[in-house]
């Protein structure tokens, strides 16, 4: 399913805080900080743009989203970035995002 995302031709963006989650997990599993560099290299190689700074409107929207429920701060930022960009949020996190999809608060591409 993830292949659809890469062949769609749409730009792929990820917030730095969400990259941190992936990098942290890689470093923790491999017990080696080199894993962080490998993750960054893979994202670059795949053509995924890392959004290193947060625009004020994304910050405000993320705060609003976070205030609605039990969504993590990082997931709130991911959804706010997607909404701000008019993009789909690609995720496997049904538990976190199903309620937002049902409420019409975002467009989701489910990878599981």
For the question of whether the overall pTM of this predicted structure is more than 0.85, the answer is yes
Task: Report whether 108 contacts 97 (CB < 8 A).
Answer: yes
Query: Tens-of-pLDDT digits for all 112 residues of the chain?
Result: 677 777 778 889 999 999 999 999 999 999 999 999 999 999 999 999 999 999 999 999 999 999 987 899 999 999 999 999 999 999 999 999 999 999 999 999 998 8
């Amino acid at each position: 399913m993830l292949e659809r995302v890469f062949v769609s031709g749409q730009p792929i963006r990820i917030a730095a805080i969400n990259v941190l989650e992936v990098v942290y997990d890689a470093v923790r599993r491999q017990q080696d900080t080199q894993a962080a560099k490998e993750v960054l290299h893979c994202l670059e190689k795949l053509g995924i743009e890392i959004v290193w700074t947060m625009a004020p409107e994304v910050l405000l929207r993320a705060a609003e989203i976070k205030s609605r429920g039990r969504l993590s701060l990082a997931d709130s930022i991911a959804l706010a970035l997607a909404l701000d960009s008019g993009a789909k949020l690609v995720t496997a996190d049904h538990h976190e995002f199903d309620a937002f999809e049902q409420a019409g608060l975002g467009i989701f591409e489910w990878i599981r």
